[in-house]
Structure formats: C-alpha cells, structure tokens
Chains A and B, each alone.
Chain A
Amino acid sequence: MIAQGASSDRIGLLSREEARGLAERVLAFASAVDQARVNISSEWTGNTRFADASITTSGGVTNTSVTVTVTIGRRRASASTNVLDDASLRRTVELAATLAKLSPEDVELMPELGAQNYASVNAFVERTASLDPEVRSGAVNRAIEAADAAGKPAGRMFTAGFLEAIARAVAVATSGGLFAYHRTTDADFSVTARTPDGTGSGWATGGARDWGQVDPAAIGRIAAQKAVASRNPQAIEPGLYTAVLEPSAVNDLVPLLSGALSARTADEGRSPFSKPGGGTRIGERVMDERVTLYSDPSDPALLGQPFDAEGLPLSRTVWVEKGILRNLSYTRFWAQKQGRQATGPAFAGGLTLAGGSKTTEQIIEGCERGILVTHFFYIRSLDARTVLQTGLTRDGTFLIEQGRITRSLKNFRWNESPLLMLNRLEDLGRPVATTAGRMMPALRVREFNFSSSSDAV
C-alpha cells in the first residue's frame, strides 16, 4: 500500500481539511442569507475501454464542484460551479440567493441541519485510487488472454469491455455548523465476449471498493465460457417459466423497488405499499418470508456513504424483515409530518438482499425445469402500482433441466415485477458482491413472465 495521501495529491482529491476550508470560504460569502448549505464533490476517474481486442478510448478526469443551497425565509434554491476562485464562488452564492428570492415560499421547507455524528466508514482503498493507465492496460490484456483461452473451442473471441476506477471525496457543510466528509473508491470491470459465428455472447463483471478484489482474468474467462455455451440458441415458446436469476440479474431488478418504498407515495395512496383506506402497509407481509432487505453504510460488505446530500446521518435501515415491511423511505419533511424517523433516500446506504445461504450452482441444481438468466437489459417501468417492468435477457440465457444446464436459449423480453417476483420465490442464495455497495443472491422464481422472443445475440 502506498502511504495515505500520495495518490490523493496526484489525482487532486480534496482532503478533509481542504474540503472544510473550501466549505468555509463559500459559507463566508453566504453570511448574509438565513441559511446555507455547501455540497462538495471532488472526483478522479481513470478508465479504459476496449473492443475487438484493442483499447478504443481511455480517459482520466479530475474535477471538483461546489453546490451552494441558500435559504431565505421559506425560499430555497441552489447553484453549482466547478470554478473555485473567490470571484466565481461569490457569484455562485449570489446566483443561488437571487434564485431563492425569486422562488415562491416552500411550505414543506425544512431548516438545514446542525452538527451531526456520523459513523466512520473506511471506503477508500489506495490501490483503487492508484490504478494508472499501464496497470489498467495490463488488466485488460489479462482479461482478453483469459477470454481467448476459454473461447478456443469457438474460434477467435470478439471481446469488448470497460474498466473504471473512481476515487471521490464528498463533503457537506451548513451554516448551522454541520460538517460531513467521506472518501470512497470504486473499481468496476466488465467484459462481453462474442463468438466469431455471431451466435454466442457472454458477459461477466466484478466490482468492489478495492481493486484487489476484482479478478480480470476470471471475468474474461467467465464471459468467454458463457459465450461458447450460448452458441446456437434455440427458441422456446414464450410464457411463464421458473427462472434462475444470477446475482447480477437480481441486482438489475431488486433496486428498482426504491421508488415504491417512498413513504409519501404510500401515504398518498399511490404505491403498492399503500393500505386500502389510507396509511401504509408497514408491519404487513409483503414478500416471501425468507426475504430480508436492508441498507447499512457501516456494513463491511457495503461500505456506503454514511450521510445523504442534506448531511442526514444514514444508519442501518431494515426495509423488509423476513417478508414483513418494516420501513419506508421518509424525507425529513414527511418523517416529521408522520411522526417517523427520517431515513434518507431508499438504498442510499447500500443494499443487501439476505435470507439464503446456497451458491448459485446449488440454486440451479434444485431446479427441475427453468431458465437461467445472466443479466438483464433495457428495463423500463410499465406500472407504478405493481412495480411492473419490461426488459430483456442478455449474454447467456440457458435452459435448465433436472438441475443441469442443457442448452442455450434465445433471449426473451419479459414483463415482471420485482415485488411480485419476491412473492413467488422457490429458493434464494447467499448474497454476493455484485457492484460496490450491493450484495445480491441468486434467486429461483416461479412463473416468471417471459413474454416474447428476441432474435438479439
């Protein structure tokens, strides 16, 4: 490990004290207004993209931006800039004040928060923040070599992918004395492998705060193995089938519940968690009794940001416990109105779907006849009341018979709801890291609605 601060200097990330100094400069310019909040985001990204075994584009970006939110009476507005000299910062504060004065009074306005206590979450990993272009090219090369080796039975693989490292410092400060600072890193690497005959496509991904937990060769190998296995897919009649969803597929669907978990929407009668006749369904069974959904920035497997954009501390929030709805997402205004605790946005502190202990392979072995899904694509909402979505399967869709993968299937369009799906569980696996801040299991779901066939490979 490189000494703390070495890469931060190189990549231009603000330290806690630098962020505090910048926030104080901005707040000083805002001393004439009733309240002010400063949000700072200081970010470095390094990325490498490749296709057809050639790096197509790569990039490195450093940027620090400041958003100032000004409150005058019950009027509030914000303005942002990434030009950090005094003149620009003063102009941005004045612009926010002008916008605020022109805005009508907000009857739901909550005062800015004062000093808070935050959990200490160490989500910054030096080797992720040090991932330079040579290291990234080397990792891409290892993935391509592994894909070529695994893809040999099908000929020369076409590989494409993307590797991105992000280091970010986020700070919030208010005129009421609040100061919050958090540093985090993310490394994400994904590879798509396609067979030369154009009939097979596979995909694999890995993501973590720590680049050391991402295995480029394994990602390349799995993508190619899936591509080879998915060649010459056969069409089967669309309809209701048992589906085995790999953790990445589950990660595509379950987080879509965040909007439905809005307490306000539920109280206003516009959500699946609205109680007929008024109120919410908190305390009622809404999912299979094995399902637990929680957010927890301090969980070592999630390492999320311990505060939201207003500086509200985020702690462990259990949304669903053994199938029972335990909480909804309450803004500060709605929490006060309803006499509840504010939670911040749903899933802001990461998300884990817990309740199972099996591996994906065991979930497949337990399947008499069903369809294995690698991941999903182009998901769009169809009906907010049921959280109904449409989308497609992609990069490896297979028939399972008597616990074994027996053949490759053409992709499907599906129409399904993550909420209704979590009521039709046959089995669920052990949660695994899908991307940084997400722990998702494989699921086996009864009567998943595969509605039409797609010719896309």
Chain B
Amino acid sequence: MSPTRRDFLRTTAATAATMAAFGPLAVEPFAQTVAPPAADAAALEIANEALNAAKKAGASYADARVGRYRRQSIATRERQVSGVSDSESYGLGVRTLVHGSWGFAATSTMTRAGAQRAAADAAAMSRAARIVRTHRVELAPITPVTGVWMTPVRRDPLEVPLEEKIALLLAANEAALKVPTVRFASSSLALLREVKTLVTTEGTSVTQTVIRVGPAFSATAVGAGGEFQVYEHELAPRGQGWEYIESLDMAGNAGRWASLAAEKVTARSVEAGQYDLILDPTNLWLTIHESIGHPTELDRAIGEEANYAGTSFIAPPEKMIGQLRFGPAFMNIQADRTQEGSLARVEWDDEGVPADKWLVIEKGLFKDYQTTREQVARIRALTGVSRSHGCSFAESWNRVQFQRMPNISLLPGEQDLSLDDIIAATERGIVVKNRGSWSIDHQRFNFQFSGQAFYEVRGGKIAGMVRDVAYQSNTPVFWNSMDMIGGPSSYWMGGSFNDGKGEPAQSSSVSHGCVPARFKNVTILNTRRTA
C-alpha cells in the first residue's frame, strides 16, 4: 500500500462519522510546494481583445479561454523505450451568445487580429444558428470571480528529468521479467500540465494550472502450450504530482503484479452462471462511472447526446428527481469537484463556477443531476437549486465547453467492513479486481464488464483464481441487488484519464472513489466459450 493511500485511509477513518452523515469526504493532506502561476499578460491581452470584439459583434455574453497544454508520454516494453513524445498546444477559444444562440471559434493564431477574427467567427455562428432554434439559452446567475489556482503538487511531473522517469519504468519491467513464464512487460506514463485563463464579459478572470498523471503497467505470461494471459494492474491516474508516481513503488510491486499474469495462465476457466458478485474498488469505480456517472448527466437526460453517447434511463427529470429508487438505503453517491488528488478537481469550471459538491443519490433515491449554467433552468423548479453545479469543461482551447462529469463516488458504509469481511460472509461468489473490457448501452441499462483478476468464493473463502469472466446486468436491477458495502477503511479512488463524449468528441478526466460491494445473483459469462 502506498504512503499516500495510508495517509488517506488514516484521515478517512478519523472522519468516518462525518461521512456517515453524508458530509465531506476526507481531504488528503496534500502539500503544495509549487506556487500557482499568475495569468500570462499576453494571454490576458488576447483574451480581452476577443471579448471586446465579441461585444462589438453583438454578443450579449462571451467568454474567452486561452489554454497552453503540455502533454508528455513515455512508453516502455521489456528493456526498451518504445516511445517518448512531448507536445505543446496553445490557442484561444471564444464562445458567444447572440440572440440566445451559442457560437464558438478557436484559433492558434495568437495575435490581436487572430482574436478579433475568432470572435467575429463565433458571433457569425451564433447568428447562423437562429434559423434552427426552439428556445433561447438562459444562463444561471454567477458571482464573477478573479484568482489563480493550481493542483497541489510537491513536484511538477513535467519538470522531473526524463532519465528518472525512464529508469522507474524500466525497473518495473525488469522486476516483472524475473517472474518465470512472464515474457512481456510494459509500462507507461502519461503526464499533463494545463494552464488555462478564462475571462468573461461578466467580469470573471481566473487562471488555473492543472496537473494530471496517468501510470500504467501490464505483464504477459506465456504457458507451456503457448497459451498467454495478460494482467494489467489498476494504477489509478490522479490529479497529483510526481510524488504520487513515486508512492506507487512500481519497481517494488511489479514482481507481485506480474505473478498474477503467470497465475492466470493456469487458472481454471470460470463456470458460467449466477453468482453473488463482489467488486473490489479497483473494478467498481468504472461500473460507477458507466452506470451512475453517465446517466446522471443532464445533457443526456434531455437528449443533447442522443446522436452520439446516447440518452439516459433517468429521464424525464420530472419523473425521476426524488422518485427513482436507484439502490438500497445505504447507497449514497456524491458528486465532487473539490476532492483533492482527483482528476476532475478544479477551483472553477470552464464557466467560472466554483467547484461544487452535492449528492446525486441520497439513501438510494435519485436526487440531482450534473449541470452547467444553461442547464439549471431545466430542473430548477424540481431541485430548488438555482446555480450551476459547475460541470462545464472543454478538453482544450480548440473545443467548446459543455457538460462533463465531476468525480462521482460511492460513499462508504457506516460499518467499517473490508473486502475480506464481505468474502467471509459470502457462500458462493466471484471477486473481480481491476478494469477489463467494458460496454454499456446508450441509455445505460444493459452492461457487460470484465476485470483483470478473478477469484471464486466458496463457503466464505477464496477457492482459487478463475479467468475468462465477465458480468452482465441491468443498471437498476444491479444497484438494487447491492446488499453489502465496505466501510471508510476500504475506500479507494480509481479514475479514467480519457473519458469520451460530445461531437466533435472530447476527452475529460474523472475520478471515482468507492468501497468494495456485493451484488446478489448476477449473471457471470465465460468470455472464452462465448465465441
């Protein structure tokens, strides 16, 4: 277990009582030694030029975002580096509201003329939209803010020497290759630094520096008959600095991880059927993402994603808010963009709305959606919430901001149960760890998920590893079948570095904290025999 996680667990245990009362999740003691940079003067000048041009072009509201994105990725396999890349992207995006319709234009021409042109293009798009319109955009109120913020980090991962990063990855591969039958090992790092300045015609002016890190590791073992099995360890991406990567001790743990690939080669293929399903947090986070995170997005519920990512079974809002029984009374799902170390942590969203925290599901009942400013009016009368929950986000300067998922987490149960406690209470079950293949329908009913390591439970004990497992269910049935969850000590935060949505498709990063949980009588498929 990593020092970071130990710190976290100590804190969570200490605040278990608060969480049981649906209070704030524990805040990890993140030390910030890198000071948040102020707005770049040139960026501010260009952004303000765009705002002025937008107003001249007739915009009743406009915002301008200048973003500088630095991405670095390092990939290794066995004893070599298979790829190193470093990219920088800098530009301006301008969004305008003219006669109640949106327009957006973006340019990498970072001059006053480039900014004026982008603003004029955006306003032209707003005007062109008037012929296809059934309602005018209405923005929820906001208190303009000014300020700077940065992800708390001790060491900026982009400033860590490349030699150090490569050495760390190759040491992990080397440790994995020491395991007999492990023939292939690969590891990688994806690192991001995003510096973003947002100014709006309402007076907001904020600059944020967001740091994210995404480590990965996998090992492939080959059996005597040429049979191979891959094991990918669930190394959660985080909104943290280099100190998080170090805390994972990849070199120290890779041998143990790789031995799971070797064990999979000789594991027996699962017997398909109905089992009690025990999901470790390393697997459950993604099930929460797909079956709770996405269907509680308000843009999906009102059909704005109908042509791509899909709609939601949690619709229409007037029949769902406060009425849909999503799961048992001990089920509480919290949306939170303030959670330290999480991928969706920001101080303000891409409309300048302060990071928010609220319950999406309370005591098993669906309570509220994820919103941006223009969405609030749709459900204000149902929720009594008159401000945005701050879910507006754009992948880059060249994409328009729209509703994206905050961190969505399953709060721990009141009793401090562990995964082992749940196993001990299970007569016949399957334990699933880490993310495998995942697929869910466009209204988020029917899903089929897999994992990386699976164990059969008989009579309250682990009866060996199995493989070729996928579980298939229907979201409302599944969550209502949940009958046991872990306590504060078993809380763990996973996440997705790349979550896709929207047209043109945009990627966002989001974390999901959770505890182990048991689901009664779930369909287990054998993915080998399905073919």
Q: Provide the residues of chain B in CB contact with A8, threshold 8 Å.
A: none
Q: CA separation between A51 and B121, bound complex, in Å? A: 22
A144 at the interface (CB under 8 A from B): yes
Do the beta carbons of B503 and A49 come within 8 Å of each other? yes
Contact A377 B310 (CB under 8 A): yes
Q: Which residues of B contact A455 (CB under 8 A)?
A: 313, 441, 443, 445-446, 474
Judge whether A134 and B503 touch: CB under 8 Å: no
Contact B303 A52 (CB under 8 A): yes
Of residues A59, A79, A105, A161, which shows the largest number of chain B Cβ atoms within 10 Å of its Cβ? A59
Task: For the complex, give the distance between the alpha carbons of A53 and B84 in Å.
Answer: 45
Which of B105-113, B355-363, B408-416 is the interface stretch? B105-113
> How far apart are the CA atoms of A38 and B276 in the complex, in Å?
55
Q: How far is the CA of A417 from the CA of B528 in the complex (A)?
A: 12
Does any Cβ of A come within 8 Å of B438's Cβ?
yes
Is A194 an interface residue when CB atoms closer than 8 A count as contact? yes
- CB–CB A78/B304 < 8 A: no
Is B60's beta carbon under 8 Å from chain A? no
**What's the interface size class on B, roughly?**
35 or more
Q: Does A63 contact B (CB under 8 A)?
A: yes
Q: Which residue of B lies closest to A274 (CB)?
A: B226
Main secondary structure of the interface of B (DSSP, over half): mixed
> How far does the alpha carbon of A413 sit from the alpha carbon of B398 in the complex, in Å?
35
The answer to whether B85 touches A52, judged by C-beta atoms less than 8 angstroms apart, is no
Residues 438-451 of chain B: 1 if any A CB is under 8 Å from the residue's CB, otherwise 0? 11111111101010
Please give the distance in Å from B196's CB to the nearest CB on chain A.
16
B81 in the interface (beta carbon within 8 A): yes
With beta carbons under 8 angstroms apart, the residue of B105, B124, B132 that contacts A144 is: B132
Instruction: Tell me, in angstroms, the Cα distance from A92 to B398 when the chains sit together.
Output: 21
Known: A77-B84, A95-B86, A158-B303. A457 touches B108 (CB 8 A): no
For A53, what are the chain B residues with a Cβ–Cβ distance below 8 Å?
Answer: 132-134
Q: Which residues of B contact A95 (CB under 8 A)?
A: 86
User: B302 on the interface (CB 8 Å rule)?
Assistant: yes
Instruction: Report A380 CB to chain B, min CB distance, Å.
Output: 4
- State in angstroms the CA–CA spacing of A102 and B134 once bound together: 58
Contact of B446 among A60, A61, A452 (CB under 8 A): A452
B303 with A420: CB separation less than 8 A: no
Stretch from A114-122, A256-264, A387-395 that touches the partner = A387-395
Are B439's CB and A106's CB within 8 A? no
Q: List 17 A-B contacts (CB under 8 A).
A: A47-B503, A52-B304, A55-B132, A56-B102, A77-B86, A82-B88, A102-B163, A106-B80, A133-B124, A137-B129, A160-B306, A164-B503, A192-B306, A382-B527, A390-B439, A413-B448, A451-B472
B→A interface (CB under 8 Å): 79-81, 84-91, 101-110, 121-122, 124-125, 127-129, 131-135, 161-163, 166, 170, 226, 228, 302-308, 310-311, 313, 398-400, 402, 437-446, 448, 450, 470, 472, 474, 503-504, 523, 525, 527-528, 530-531
Given contacts A105-B80, A190-B307, 13 further A-B contacts (CB under 8 A): A47-B503, A51-B304, A59-B103, A62-B106, A80-B88, A82-B108, A98-B162, A106-B80, A107-B80, A144-B132, A160-B305, A192-B307, A380-B438
10 smallest CB-CB distances across A and B, nearest first, come from A133-B128, A454-B446, A80-B87, A456-B443, A55-B129, A456-B441, A160-B306, A162-B503, A192-B307, A59-B104
